[in-house]
A and B are shown apart, each in its own frame.
Chain A
Amino acid sequence: MAIALVDCESFYASCERVFRPDLKNIPIVVLSNNDGCVIARSTEAKKMGIAMGVPWFKVKDSFLKQKGKVFSSNFTFYGDMSARVMNILEGFVPKVEIYSIDEAFLDLDTLRQNYNLYDFSCHMRILVKQWTGIPVRIGIAPTKTLSKIAINEIKRINVPTYVLQLSNKDQIRYALANTPVHKVWGVGRKLNEHLNKAKINTALDLAEVSPQNIRRKFSVVLERTVRELRGERCLSIEDDVSSKKQIVVSRSFGERVSNLETLKPIVSNFAVRASEKLRKEKQKCSKVSVFVRTSPFNKNKPQHSDLKTISLLTPTNDTRDILTAAKKALVPIFRSGYDYAKAGILLSKFSNEDSKQFSLFKDPNEPKENTEFMKYIDYMNAFETQIYFASQNTKKWSPMKQNMTSPKYTTNWYELPKVN
């Protein structure tokens, strides 16, 4: 039994390097939306001691003084590069679970008889690097949780090939003994404290507790982790991604917003975007929630956060219905006198687009619910927004402060990389 975890090395930073050969060996950091925090660091930046998630203003001066290069996040570009990497992996292995933008689990069971899995993975790594420019690490192990451990080991001992296979008991024991328990997949900070109190400090300590005891003292979830660490497969590769259960669109604002008339069009933008996503999933929703909150970092200002949910009698994916509901939710939770830093919309309680359920009573809201009409709008807006709803803010998204974004190298004719 073998599972491989393919993990892109400092993915966002590596993407930024693909079309910038001048940035080889130069420290790179990528910032979150609005340039707030560091969300990715190249190996060089990690060595400089830049922590994950640190606010940019705290490290800015020293980082730039040491000739580091900073980028605002360019998710259009990262998304395209990720799709290329995943596409290549899917060409190699029949069963691939795309776990995140930069990680995928591969089911190697069917390949075991005919290939040496280590050589196969090395070959795959070289090909992904050559074809896309993205360096990856590959950890091979009997279970998903152990493949995560293998990736940690590659980082810890700097495996020169960036591929590590944990196949026999001794190798696994050695790796587990060197992994602190908080680095085990699924063990959070709080759980870590509890485990440490019970004298469980390494992954090996955890693996040596009997699963039954763990179940009694902690949870079924942790029991599953223990079994996985012992080499028993509890989590399988899920290659058919079941449809989403909810859709969230939210952003922190570039500047604080303190009046309702400014906030309304921003929330309308979220509603439009969320409705588009909903139609892409071929779903309808019957719950629309809106939330607002002030900045928790602004400690000397009054704080407020609230969420309101509107239930719809008839499920819909018509932007106009969702806009109406969003406004209905926003108005009562907004309070003047607060500097809001973030807002968002959440669509939930989905039902299939094709199934239609009529309510017993006439819906007083008279939903528009015109999927066909919306599809035309989606088609026209596919490449660039041409049609706006009247309540939207046409000034492109919410006011976002991002001025260090790299070009959309792979998705825009006018931003192609240049060669001499």
Chain B
Amino acid sequence: MKVNYIGKISEENLPAIFVPYFLESVHAGFPSPASDYIESPIDLNKHLIKNGAATFLVRAQGQSMVGSGITDQAVLIVDRSIKPSHNSIIVAAIDGEFVCKRLKLKPRMCLMPDNPEYPPIFINHGQELEIVGTVTAAINKF
């Protein structure tokens, strides 16, 4: 697997005090040549969450979406403001339960697991389906 280094990650979720990385001491001598290039550390929140007020985190259970890279206990980022389309991974409420599946609008609307061992969920007449939001990312911890 090829890995691209994209930079250093911020300290968990602590928003408060960040010590800039290249802060040099003030005593004497030649100032650090890096001090002009200080940037704020990479912020996972900024990267993963576009609309904070409409974004919720949920925890995935089971293996039905492993094909999409969502393993058991993964944290899913659900943005309720993004309108899902054909093939979006969504969180929906059906029969009083939340499920995470891939939304298929054709040939017939269904909620499709990404694991051949699980059957698709078709919406029957009289059954209510409420789409809660679109899954924009999954965080799997190893």
A contacts, CB < 8 Å to B: 19, 21-24, 83-85, 87-88, 91, 127, 130-133, 379, 382, 409-410, 413, 416-420
B97 at the interface (CB under 8 A from A): yes
Asked if residues B53 and A132 are in contact (CB atoms below 8 Å), the reply is yes
Which residue, of A83, A88, A416, has the highest number of chain B Cβ atoms within 10 A? A416
Find chain A residues with CB under 8 A from B80 CB: 130-133
Asked if residues B100 and A419 are in contact (CB atoms below 8 Å), the reply is yes
- Could you list 7 A-B pairs, sorted by A, with CB under 8 Å? A85-B53, A87-B53, A132-B53, A132-B80, A419-B58, A420-B61, A420-B97
B106 to chain A, nearest CB (A): 24
Question: 10 more A-B contacts (CB under 8 A) besides A84-B53, A130-B54, A132-B80?
Answer: A22-B96, A83-B53, A84-B52, A85-B53, A127-B81, A130-B80, A131-B51, A418-B59, A420-B61, A420-B98
**Cβ-neighbour of A419 out of B51, B53, B54, B59 (below 8 A):** B59
**Cβ-neighbour of A131 out of B53, B58, B94 (below 8 A):** B53
Find chain B residues with CB under 8 A from A91 CB: 53
Asked if residues A382 and B16 are in contact (CB atoms below 8 Å), the reply is yes
What is the CA–CA distance of A419 and B96 in the complex, to the nearest angstrom?
11
Find chain B residues with CB under 8 A from A23 CB: 96
Asked if residues B97 and A417 are in contact (CB atoms below 8 Å), the reply is no
Find chain B residues with CB under 8 A from A84 CB: 52-54
B76 at the interface (CB under 8 A from A): yes
Asked if residues A379 and B130 are in contact (CB atoms below 8 Å), the reply is no
B132 to chain A, nearest CB (A): 8
Asked if residues B56 and A417 are in contact (CB atoms below 8 Å), the reply is yes
Find chain A residues with CB under 8 A from B132 CB: 133
* Chain B residue at minimal CB-CB distance from A91: B53
Find chain B residues with CB under 8 A from A131 CB: 51, 53-54, 80-81
A331 to chain B, nearest CB (A): 38
B68 to chain A, nearest CB (A): 13
A69 to chain B, nearest CB (A): 12
A25 to chain B, nearest CB (A): 10
* Chain A residue at minimal CB-CB distance from B93: A21
* Chain B residue at minimal CB-CB distance from A87: B53
- Bitwise, B8-42 to A at CB < 8 A (1) or not (0) is 00000000110000000000000000000000000
B84 to chain A, nearest CB (A): 12
Asked if residues A410 and B53 are in contact (CB atoms below 8 Å), the reply is no
Asked if residues A416 and B59 are in contact (CB atoms below 8 Å), the reply is yes
Asked if residues B61 and A419 are in contact (CB atoms below 8 Å), the reply is yes
Asked if residues A418 and B61 are in contact (CB atoms below 8 Å), the reply is yes
What is the CA–CA distance of A74 and B81 in the complex, to the nearest angstrom?
25
What is the CA–CA distance of A24 and B53 in the complex, to the nearest angstrom?
23
- Bitwise, B105-129 to A at CB < 8 A (1) or not (0) is 0000000000000000000000000
What is the CA–CA distance of A130 and B60 in the complex, to the nearest angstrom?
21
Asked if residues A418 and B58 are in contact (CB atoms below 8 Å), the reply is yes
Which residue, of A91, A413, A418, has the highest number of chain B Cβ atoms within 10 A? A418
What is the CA–CA distance of A79 and B38 in the complex, to the nearest angstrom?
36
Find chain A residues with CB under 8 A from B7 CB: none
Asked if residues A416 and B58 are in contact (CB atoms below 8 Å), the reply is yes
What is the CA–CA distance of A154 and B58 in the complex, to the nearest angstrom?
34
What is the CA–CA distance of A131 and B133 in the complex, to the nearest angstrom?
8
Find chain B residues with CB under 8 A from A413 CB: 75
B103 at the interface (CB under 8 A from A): no
Find chain B residues with CB under 8 A from A379 CB: 16-17
Tell whether A21 pairs with B53 under 8 Å between CB atoms, given A382-B16, A416-B58. Answer: no
Find chain A residues with CB under 8 A from B60 CB: 418-419
A106 to chain B, nearest CB (A): 16
